[in-house]
Amino acid sequence: MASSFIRTGKKIVAIGRNYAAHAKELNNAVPKEPFFFLKPTSSYLPSGGRLEIPQGIVAHHEVELGIVVGKGGRDISQANAESHVAGYTLAVDMTARNLQDKVRKAGLPWSAAKGFDTFTPIGQFLPKDSVKDAHDLRLSLKINGIVKQDGTTADMIFRIPRLIEHVSSIMSLEEGDVILTGTPSGVGPVVPGDKVECVLTEAGGKELLSLDFEAVQREGGYHFQQD
């Protein structure tokens, strides 16, 4: 079932540069059509967990609205996209920024920069009928009580039906898959010891979902080396 997507979903499809202000803050061009990358479901970290930051990694937070796919399909039209949505979730697309910068300069893929274990903190399932308008929600992220990101899904460059149409024209969507819809501006570092709190609210202020986690230093495993 879609509500158990954290256990049963097969892929995380993460949309890049879907908020103009975020593209600008990283000196990236605004895309002409949606583009995305994949994250492994093994990177999910349920709320209350510990984000493990590998040695030498500069980890950045990117708070996002997630779409939980209910009915799978391919070549889904924008007109039919809504019927494929089971609900929503709140997520943080953690990024190993220094690793991403290094491999991008070399023209290499950046799966590793996004795919570390615990690098997708994830909230609970929010049924579709509990959301009045997915394009009028506020996303906020605090670190140690200080607001770092506070944006609205109204600022998405490509809206949800367009994202579903685009992704499903390339690869089939399956029940339990999650589409991360991009992040507003304000991304920045998370370091060991930080406590991160995220909230998804309606425009009127009603809280729909929350997500929190604590950052710790990962012991062993990957160690970043800057050449």
Q: How is residue 27 written in tokens?
A: 């000196």
What pLDDT, on a 0 to 100 scale, did the predictor assign at position 76?
98
**pLDDT digit string, tens, across residues 135-186:** 999 999 999 999 999 999 999 999 999 999 999 999 999 999 999 999 999 9
What pLDDT, on a 0 to 100 scale, did the predictor assign at position 31?
77
Q: Measured between alpha carbons, how far is 227 from 101 in angstroms, rounded to an integer?
A: 12
Q: How is residue 84 written in tokens?
A: 């494929």
| SS3 label, residue 153 | helix
What pLDDT, on a 0 to 100 scale, did the predictor assign at position 188?
96
Identify the CATH homologous superfamily for domain 2-217. Answer: Fumarylacetoacetase-like, C-terminal domain (3.90.850.10)
Q: Which of 139, 145, 141 is nearest to 126 (CA)?
A: 139
| SS3 label, residue 142 | strand
Query: How buried is residue 18: exposed, middle or buried, by Cβ count under 10 Å (0-12/13-18/19+)?
Result: buried
**pLDDT digit string, tens, across residues 159-169:** 999 999 999 99
Which ranges of the chain have pLDDT less than 70? 22-24, 26
What pLDDT, on a 0 to 100 scale, did the predictor assign at position 30?
75
What pLDDT, on a 0 to 100 scale, did the predictor assign at position 22?
66
